[in-house]
Amino acid sequence: MSGPHTPEVALSRQGDSSMGTRDEDAADGIQHSHRMLSFSDALLSIIATVMILPVTHTEISPEQFDKSIQKLLATRIAVYLMTFLIVTVAWAAHTRLFQVVGKIDDTLALLNLACMMTITFLPFTFSLMVTFPEVPLGIFLFCMCVIAIGAVQALIVVYAFHFPHLLNPQMERSAHRGLYRRHILGLVLRGPALCFVAAGFSLFFYPLSYLLMATVIFLPYVSKAFSWCKGRLVGPQEPPAHSVEFFTFDLHEPLSKERVEAFSDGVYAIVATLLILDICEDNVPDSKDVKEKFHGSLVAALSVYGPHFLAYFGSFATVGLLWFAHHSLFLHIRKATPSMGLLNTLSLAFVGGLPLAYQQTSAFARRPHDELESVRVSCAIIFFASIFQFAIWTTALLHEGETLRPSARFGGREHAFMFAKLALYPCASLLAFASTCFLSRFSTAIFHLTQIAVPFTFLLLRLLVRLALAVLRALRGLGRPARRGEEDARAPLLPSAC
């Protein structure tokens, strides 16, 4: 009689125990870190994205748009990409760190806020770097911010290991916490150490500082390549008896898929917001001009900004559909390896450059003779943002048994559709770029109307892929009955078994 109720009783007891643990943690001032991590991911994605603003707001008059200005703009874009990647390195370190630290108290929350406050100062130092590229103060302050971020993260490590109940349960029970602490501190501080050297070189030879800062981005991958080469030359070595199991940058170790998605969603949301902010800032008519130039007609005044609104809708459609492709991709991904995380970061860096593409294309009315060049810039940004998404998919297919769900693997029902969906934007942007090489002029209206029409292509894509698969199945089915007919015709000629 009591048997069927046993699971419910056990579940109730487990729920009561979990609730009691939470109440005890709250009474002791210990909290779960989920909300703090969500806040940190949102803030880091905003900081990484708004650093495009000094590039997009570069004032270029029509008579100044020559090779020197193009070189200046390209330099600013390169510096933006480098700083975006450095911010994502700080985010990755934060993600790894809070895979070790499972719970927080007030002190840890305040230390994390200090880390976030230092990160929020990075856009100001970046603005100094792009505005005064030959003055070392900007890069010096940027390096000092990175050093301060590493110092605060090191304090978080020291504090969490001093109170083991804040650590991951497996780490808390480990008898080798001292080894883990030294290893984690070494990983946290090696990036700031390089920035310390870069800050020193910025005082007398700043180009080398940029090289050292770029090394910070790819340091984990350089270290992995060095270990691989060492293994090839020396031979495989036995791992230590107490190897470090946490907070490594092994290219096969999964990242937190939820935090990768949260950070990516933040970047896409901020990019879409920056587009409408530009509309509100630059395309609201002045009341005095409406009265004097347009005789009080607001509709006539707004019609002047028609190309800008068309550029906005086209750019927003591109941002939204790139997010849609990203969402569909990670819906089929089971876990994200660091190599996939790096490709995702590169894709997000170019997504962050879409406000620049909007600024370039919305200025067609002011610079009609530069339409072709602006379309090429926009196509290049869209191509790289989408091709790195396709590279994530390709990398996941190399280890599909671990990284992908069964429906998205080779032969799965969603495999062909995902391939077509992720290949659409790279092919479309590459085709548009190629068209600018053959045409003497590329209409801005056609470019933006094409961007707006792409959503309908996504709607038709699944239907076309299903239709193509149905045709292939039908062709295969036609071949099978013919073979069966031949076997039946030959059957009477064979001797019957006695």
User: Are residues 265 and 212 located together in one domain of the fold?
Assistant: no
User: Are residues 382 and 298 located together in one domain of the fold?
Assistant: yes
* Residue 227 covered by a domain: yes
pLDDT in tens, 377-394: 888 889 999 999 999 999
* Residue 5 covered by a domain: no
Residues 6+ apart with CB under 8 A from 158: 181, 185
- Residue 377's pLDDT is 81
Task: Say how far apart CA 81 and CA 51 lie, in whole Å.
Answer: 9
User: Are residues 222 and 172 located together in one domain of the fold?
Assistant: yes
* Residue 202 covered by a domain: yes
* Residue 3 covered by a domain: no
Q: Residue 154, class by beta-carbon neighbours within 10 Å (0-12 exposed, 13-18 middle, 19+ buried)?
A: middle
Task: Say how far apart CA 63 and CA 17 lie, in whole Å.
Answer: 72
Least Cα distance to 96 among 302, 245, 233, 318 occurs for 245
User: Are residues 210 and 262 located together in one domain of the fold?
Assistant: no
Sign of the Cα pseudo-torsion (88, 93, 95, 98, in order): negative
User: Are residues 164 and 200 located together in one domain of the fold?
Assistant: yes
User: Are residues 166 and 289 located together in one domain of the fold?
Assistant: no
Tokens of 324: 């849609």
Q: How confident is the model at residue 427 (pLDDT cuts 50, 70, 90)?
A: confident
User: Are residues 137 and 221 located together in one domain of the fold?
Assistant: yes
Q: Is the pLDDT of residue 318 over 50?
A: yes
Segment 275-279 mean pLDDT:
76
* Residue 489 covered by a domain: no
User: Are residues 117 and 151 located together in one domain of the fold?
Assistant: yes
Segment 255-281 mean pLDDT:
83
Least Cα distance to 154 among 101, 214, 85 occurs for 101
User: Are residues 177 and 263 located together in one domain of the fold?
Assistant: no
* Residue 273 covered by a domain: yes
Average of per-residue pLDDT values in the chain: 75
* Residue 250 covered by a domain: no
Segment 302-324 mean pLDDT:
81
Q: How confident is the model at residue 238 (pLDDT cuts 50, 70, 90)?
A: low
* Residue 145 covered by a domain: yes
Q: What is the pTM of this model?
A: 0.74
59 SS3 class: coil
pLDDT in tens, 337-364: 878 888 998 899 899 888 877 777 766 5
- Residue 390's pLDDT is 94
User: Are residues 304 and 223 located together in one domain of the fold?
Assistant: no
Q: How many domains does the chain have?
A: 2
Task: Say how far apart CA 427 and CA 434 lie, in whole Å.
Answer: 10
User: Are residues 324 and 444 located together in one domain of the fold?
Assistant: yes
Q: Compute φ and ψ for 404, nearest 5 degrees.
A: -115, 155
Total residue count of the chain as it appears in this document:
498
Domain extent, residue 360, equals 257-476
- Residue 440's pLDDT is 61
443 SS3 class: coil
Segment 440-447 mean pLDDT:
65
Q: How confident is the model at residue 241 (pLDDT cuts 50, 70, 90)?
A: very low
Least Cα distance to 218 among 252, 191, 192 occurs for 191
- Residue 98's pLDDT is 85
Q: How many CB atoms lie within 10 A of CB 306?
A: 12
Q: Which residue has the higher pLDDT, 103 or 236?
A: 103
Q: Is the pLDDT of residue 206 over 80?
A: no
Q: How confident is the model at residue 237 (pLDDT cuts 50, 70, 90)?
A: low
102 SS3 class: coil
Sign of the Cα pseudo-torsion (292, 293, 296, 301, in order): negative
Q: Which secondary structure element, helix H or strand E, spans residue 69, and what is its range?
A: helix 67-100
pLDDT in tens, 36-90: 888 888 888 888 888 777 776 655 544 444 555 566 667 777 778 877 888 888 8
- Residue 59's pLDDT is 54
Least Cα distance to 78 among 248, 210, 273, 212 occurs for 210
**Any idea which residue has 């801005």 for tokens?**
444
Q: How many CB atoms lie within 10 A of CB 78?
A: 12
User: Are residues 261 and 220 located together in one domain of the fold?
Assistant: no
Q: How confident is the model at residue 432 (pLDDT cuts 50, 70, 90)?
A: confident
